[in-house]
Amino acid sequence: MDLLYNISIWIYLVAIHISALFSHKAKQWVTGRKDIFDKLQKTIKEHNSIVWFHCASLGEYEQGKPIIEAYKVKYPRHKILLTFFSPSGYEIKKNTSLANFVFYLPYDTKSNAKKFISITKPIKVVFIKYEFWFNYMSELKKQNIPFYSVSAIFRENQTFFKYKWFAKQLKNVTHFFVQDKNSSELLKNIDLTNITISGDSRFDSVKATANNAKPLPILHNFSKYKPTIICGSTWGKDEELLGKFIKNNPNYNYIIAPHEMNRISALQKQTNGILYSIVNTENIKSNNVLIIDSIGLLPNIYSYANIAYIGGGFGAGIHNVLEAATFGLPLIFGPNYKKFNEAKDLISLGGAISITNYKELISAINYFNVFDSTISTDYIRNHSGATEIILGTL
């Protein structure tokens, strides 16, 4: 099985190099790792006391952010090395002041793992949520470097609980900080006991965002005269339903932040919306649809809405619902939410509704015109505190 795993890594590499000929994102993935060990060697040099945090992408970064911030306060002399697997995380956060060094993670081969660890010499390693790269984990174990999995969540259908080889890889983890009791029980069923149920650090992250939200005066002016619906991280199917609703309901203002920037042109045609990059106090008066064509604004924008529609639920899965919930908003999203505990919790509490069609969208918006915002804010408050639990051990 060890051989098959390493072969699968090489097959993936071949596939992504082929994809790079046609996909900008795949090209970034490949070119971002070019000469990476030379770059590491020149940048890291003689630095010591390096603590390595790894995130798959931007969502995991936001999950890890409060942990890194708290860690820096607790250990101010340690240097933070931050790595990403995906371009959508690295390209946005490569200049973050949160870390001393930011790099792509070299792909998971035995030789890469040895070389990366020999250059960076981390004193401890923290991987966020779903990331488990077995060659890195094995090498860290061999070198007696503590490896922590934080804000992790496990499900019964994962390979760890079906095949002994995969379960064995988890024995290389020094300690698991899991989100829920179910994850803890699954790990115990494969004879792992180094577990703490800490909750999800994303609650701490979004709570901090709400407490430190940056004012956006143009959005304040835009949203104060009509109830405002914000549509965050939308995809094509989401926008199809929303476009129809927008056309038939001019009594609302709408803010749309598409998941992919290449959707901007189509959205403009579909909604006659104005772009955030060119909006001003004058031209905004004649528009009730504002399209966000800038990255990184979404968490702050939710504070100007009355209702939030979260995209992705008609595709691979919904995006971050907590960013909106922390501002007390009722949530609407598509049917693919079952993997997200927070979405299921908010539905059961009455703070969210899942829809499958246009008629249900209308019904959900009408229902949420009167909403008790304490449902969402209480939920965020009651689930915060994971960072403090994790930092007690790190």
**Nearest one of 284, 279, 322, 280 to 302, comparing CA atoms:** 322
Q: Are residues 140 and 96 in the same domain?
A: yes
Stretch 216-223: mean pLDDT: 88
Calpha distance 74→40 (Å, rounded): 26
pLDDT in the model for residue 354: 97
**Nearest one of 246, 247, 265, 244 to 255, comparing CA atoms:** 246
Count the neighbouring beta carbons within 10 Å of the beta carbon of residue 183.
19
Q: What is the pTM of this model?
A: 0.84
Q: Are residues 153 and 230 in the same domain?
A: no
Q: Is residue 9 part of a domain?
A: no
Sheet containing strand 331-333, strands side by side: 274-275, 289-291, 253-258, 228-234, 307-310, 331-333, 352-354
Q: Is residue 23 part of a domain?
A: no
Between helices 236-248 and 358-367, what is the axis angle to 10°?
60
Whether the pLDDT of residue 56 is over 80: the answer is yes
pLDDT in the model for residue 372: 72
* 329-352 pLDDT, tens digit each: 999 999 999 888 899 999 999 999
* 58-91 pLDDT, tens digit each: 889 989 999 999 999 999 999 999 999 999 899 9
pLDDT band for position 193 (50/70/90)? very high
Q: Is residue 7 part of a domain?
A: no
Calpha distance 387→73 (Å, rounded): 12
Q: Which residue has the higher pLDDT, 145 or 316?
A: 145
pLDDT in the model for residue 88: 86
Whether the pLDDT of residue 279 is over 90: the answer is no
Q: Is residue 47 part of a domain?
A: yes
Give kind and range of the element (H or E) at residue 307: strand 307-310
pLDDT in the model for residue 296: 76
Q: Are residues 35 and 88 in the same domain?
A: yes
Q: Are residues 121 and 158 in the same domain?
A: yes
**Nearest one of 150, 233, 164 to 197, comparing CA atoms:** 150
**Nearest one of 178, 183, 185 to 201, comparing CA atoms:** 178
Contact 197, 151 (CB under 8 A): no
Q: Are residues 185 and 310 in the same domain?
A: no
Give kind and range of the element (H or E) at residue 290: strand 289-291
pLDDT in the model for residue 337: 95
Q: Are residues 324 and 227 in the same domain?
A: yes
**Nearest one of 118, 103, 86 to 34, comparing CA atoms:** 103
DSSP string, 224-248: SSS-EEEEEEE-HHHHHHHHHHHHH
Q: Is residue 334 part of a domain?
A: yes
pLDDT band for position 162 (50/70/90)? very high
Q: Are residues 96 and 175 in the same domain?
A: yes
Q: Which residue has the higher pLDDT, 283 or 52?
A: 52
Q: Are residues 147 and 244 in the same domain?
A: no
Strands (E) in 137-288, as ranges, are 147-152, 175-178, 195-197, 228-234, 253-258, 274-275
Q: Is residue 109 part of a domain?
A: yes
Q: Are residues 117 and 253 in the same domain?
A: no
Would strands 122-128 and 289-291 be described as parallel, antiparallel, or unpaired?
unpaired
Q: Are residues 370 and 221 in the same domain?
A: yes
Domain count, the chain: 2
- Most confident residue range from 40-49, 121-130, 212-221, 258-267: 121-130
Q: Is residue 227 part of a domain?
A: yes
pLDDT in the model for residue 313: 95
| Tokens describing residue 353 | 């509704």
Q: In this structure, what CATH number is given to the domain that contains residue 166?
A: 3.40.50.11720
pLDDT band for position 371 (50/70/90)? confident
Q: In this structure, what CATH number is given to the domain that contains residue 254?
A: 3.40.50.2000
Q: Are residues 117 and 187 in the same domain?
A: yes
**Angle formed at CA 63 by CA 57 and CA 64, multiple of 5 degrees:** 90
- Most confident residue range from 130-134, 219-223, 224-228: 130-134
**Which range marks the domain in which residue 299 is found?**
213-381
Distances in Å between the Cα of 376 and the Cα atoms of 40, 87, 229, 366, 384 are 43, 32, 16, 18, 13
Q: Are residues 203 and 57 in the same domain?
A: yes
Q: Is residue 22 part of a domain?
A: no
